[in-house]
Structure formats: C-alpha cells, structure tokens
Amino acid sequence: MTTIDLPERAGESASADGGALAKSKRARKLSGGSRVAPFLFLLPFMVLFAIFFLLPIAYAIYQSLFHTEVSGLGLGPNSTVTKFVGLGNFSSVLSDHSFFSGLGRVILFGIVQVPIMLALATVLALLLDSASTRFKRFFRLSFFLPYGVPGVIAAILWSFLYLPGLSPIVSILRSAGFGTINFLGIHSVLWSIANIITWEYTGYNMLIIYAGLQAIPQSLFEAARIDGASEIKVALKIKLPLIFSSIVLTAVFSIIGTLQLFSEPQVLRAVTTNISSSFTPNLLAYTKAFVENDPNVAAAVAVILALGTFILSFGFLKLVQRRAFSEVEL
C-alpha cells in the first residue's frame, strides 16, 4: 500500500534536479487538455461544499454576533428585535458556568478515554499482526463488528445493559458479591459513556493501525527475527515506530469525536437524570437552540467548539509530526 504514494514522491524529488523536464511535460499536458475541464469537474463539489460547509460556518459566525430579543408578549410581527451585539454572545457563553463544566467534562473524558482506547487498539493490532497468533480472522471480525452498529443504537443497547432490572451484567455482579453497581450514577455515568465509545471505536482504530502494519515490508523484521529478536522486541522496536503516523491519525479523529460528544449522552438521558442538558458543549448548543430558543447563543457555542476542535486537532497533528520526523531521522 505504501506504493500508492511512491509515484508522487518520486516526482517531487525529481523536480529538484530534473524540474525543467517535468515542467515542460506538464505544460504539454495542460495545452493538450481543455482549460475549462478541471473547473467543470470541480464545480459540482465546490458548489455543494460552499453551500453546506462554508456557508453554514459563515452563517454561524454571523448569527453569533446578533441577538434577538422578544419584547412584550412576543406576539405580532414587530415583537422581536434583532440587534448587533458584537462579541456579546461569546462573552455570555464564556462566562457561563455550565459551558465550562461541560467542556471540562469532555476534556477529562478525552484525556482518559482516548489513550486507553488507542493503547488497546494498538496492542490488538500488534497481536493480530504477530506471527504466533491464531484465529486472526475471527478476532479481526469480532473486534470490528461494533463499528457496524450505529452510535445511537450502540448507546441504546448499552443503556439496557446499564439498567438495573434489565441488565444481566448488573445482576451477575450483584450475585458475585459486588453489590448493586450503579452504572448511571452522577459520577459513574461519564465512564459508562466512555465504555460505549471504547466499545464502538476500538476495532475501527485497530483496523487503521493494522492497515499501517500490513504496509510494512516483511523483510524489515525478518532480519531481526533471524538475529533472534523476540516477537515483543520486534513489535516495540520496529513495528511501533513505523505505525506512528497511523496512531496519530486515529488520535486526531478521536479528539474531534470527543469534543463533539452528543448522541451517547443524549440517548442515556432516557434512562438517567444524572445527565444535565449542558452535559457536553454540544448538548448545551442543542439545548440553547431548541429548548431555550436562543439560536444566537447556540451559534456562538458552535463557533467556539468548531474553532477549538480545529485548533486542537491541527495543533496535535503539527506537534506529533515534528516528533515523528525527528524519530525517522534517528
């Protein structure tokens, strides 16, 4: 699979010395083809991308700068007044205690859950890649299976498994002498959600890392094996550094996902009162928009969240990229 990238890379390095040749070839290619064709090809995507990606972002920013006030009883055509408030909505969100407790909650969640899930995914991928492991196909399929269950359905399914009276897990733990464990308590519910996410996405992340492992040429560790290096040593010293970029990719996707946390807590609200309407920033945005009818503040929350996600995932990517390169140079 690494070969996929080779032609392009070869072209890049060639352009250093034989750049003129490549350029003249490209110029010929362009004059041979139509000049309008690429733009026509890009048109459908760019139009839809502009309407459904760029426009909503712009509109959210625009909305977040205004505030609609209801005067009197809120009846009649002139009862609402929309006025420009600048960064007023942002300051009201940033001074809102519930926004920060929700944000703190997803950050805590991310710090604990993402490393656990990725460590698990990495270990499973390495074990599946190890020569001495048997029943590989069965394991790979069963680890990947939960990803085929949509998030909402996974959350409903686990909510049943957390519910005392319905859950065989609760009753088994009780008869094993652990007492009645409350998976939906005020402190435990966050970790019950973490379990749902781990269940859903470990296999998916494992597959990304596993695909990275499969791309490593066998010859690289055959030599080490002949030299008598143990399977564990091969995994840690050779494989792990080589799949670093795959792990980074899974980390970025996991960070984005964590900050967006919504469906699982929203579903669990059906079985517990310990999830408030501002449990995560996204839940807060939803509540502001559809329960409190305040789209302006909701837009401000969405903007802060999108910006934060973008900065965090981009920053993380840059941070580890630098480290990855220094490792490659070693």
Partner 1 sequence: MTMTDLERPSKKRGATGAERLTSRTSIISMAFLFVMATYFLVPVYWLVISSTKGPTTLYGSQGFWFSNFQFFSNLSGLFGYSNGIFVRWILNTVLYAGVGATVATLIASLAGYALSKYNFVGKEAIFSIILGGVLVPGTALALPLYLLMSKVHLTDTYWSVLLPAFVSPFGVFLSRVYAGASIPDELIDAGRIDGAGEFKIFRSIGLKIMSPALVTIFLFQFVAIWNNFFLPLVMLSNQNLYPVTLGLYSWDNQYGQAPQLIAYVVIGALISVIPLIIAFLSLQRFWQTGLTSGSVKA
List the interface residues with partner 1, window 244-263 (CB under 8 A). Answer: 245-246, 248-249, 252, 256, 259-260, 262-263
Please tell me whether residue 274 binds partner 1 under the rule CB under 8 A.
Answer: no
Tell me the residue length of the chain: 330
Site string for partner 1, 89-118 (x = CB under 8 A): ------------------------------
Cα–Cα nearest to 320, from 256, 249, 258: 249
Please tell me whether residue 306 binds partner 1 under the rule CB under 8 A.
Answer: yes
Q: What is the CA angle 26-31-36, rounded to 5?
A: 110
Please tell me whether residue 88 binds partner 1 under the rule CB under 8 A.
Answer: no
Choose the stretch contacting partner 1; rule: CB under 8 A; options: 66-74, 75-83, 86-94, 211-219: 211-219
> Cα Rg for the chain, rounded, in angstroms?
26
State both tokens at 205: 């992340």
179-185 contacts at long range (C-beta below 8 A, 24 or more positions apart): 184/268, 184/271, 184/272, 184/274, 185/274
For the chain, where are the E strands, in sequence order?
66-70, 80-84
Widest pairwise Cα distance in the chain: 85
Choose the stretch contacting partner 1; rule: CB under 8 A; options: 93-101, 105-113, 183-191, 206-214: 206-214
Please tell me whether residue 314 binds partner 1 under the rule CB under 8 A.
Answer: yes
Please tell me whether residue 21 binds partner 1 under the rule CB under 8 A.
Answer: no
| Residue 175 Rama label (left phi>0; alpha psi -120 to 50; beta) | alpha
Please tell me whether residue 298 binds partner 1 under the rule CB under 8 A.
Answer: yes
List the interface residues with partner 1, window 140-179 (CB under 8 A). Answer: 140-154, 156-161, 165-169, 171
What one-character DSSP code corresponds to residue 94? Answer: H
Choose the stretch contacting partner 1; rule: CB under 8 A; options: 72-80, 97-105, 184-192, 279-287: 279-287
Residue 203, Cβ density class (10 Å: 0-12 exposed, 13-18 middle, ≥19 buried)? buried
**C-beta closer to partner 1: residue 47 or 186:** 47
Please tell me whether residue 44 binds partner 1 under the rule CB under 8 A.
Answer: yes
Please tell me whether residue 2 binds partner 1 under the rule CB under 8 A.
Answer: yes
Please tell me whether residue 224 binds partner 1 under the rule CB under 8 A.
Answer: no
Choose the stretch contacting partner 1; rule: CB under 8 A; options: 35-43, 70-78, 81-89, 179-187: 35-43
Continuous H helices in 130-167: 136-144, 151-162
**C-beta closer to partner 1: residue 58 or 81:** 58
Residue 18 beta carbon to partner 1: minimum distance, rounded to whole angstroms: 16
Choose the stretch contacting partner 1; rule: CB under 8 A; options: 66-74, 90-98, 103-111, 289-297: 289-297
**C-beta closer to partner 1: residue 30 or 220:** 30
Please tell me whether residue 197 binds partner 1 under the rule CB under 8 A.
Answer: no
Residue 15 beta carbon to partner 1: minimum distance, rounded to whole angstroms: 13
Site string for partner 1, 123-142 (x = CB under 8 A): xx--xx-xxxxxx--xxxxx
Cα–Cα nearest to 68, from 304, 290, 300, 293: 293
**C-beta closer to partner 1: residue 37 or 330:** 37
Cα–Cα nearest to 194, from 246, 140, 286, 261: 261
Cα–Cα nearest to 116, from 260, 246, 251: 251
Cα–Cα nearest to 281, from 65, 106, 112: 106
Site string for partner 1, 55-84 (x = CB under 8 A): xxx-xx--x---------------------
Looking up tokens 């991310």, which residue turns up? Answer: 110
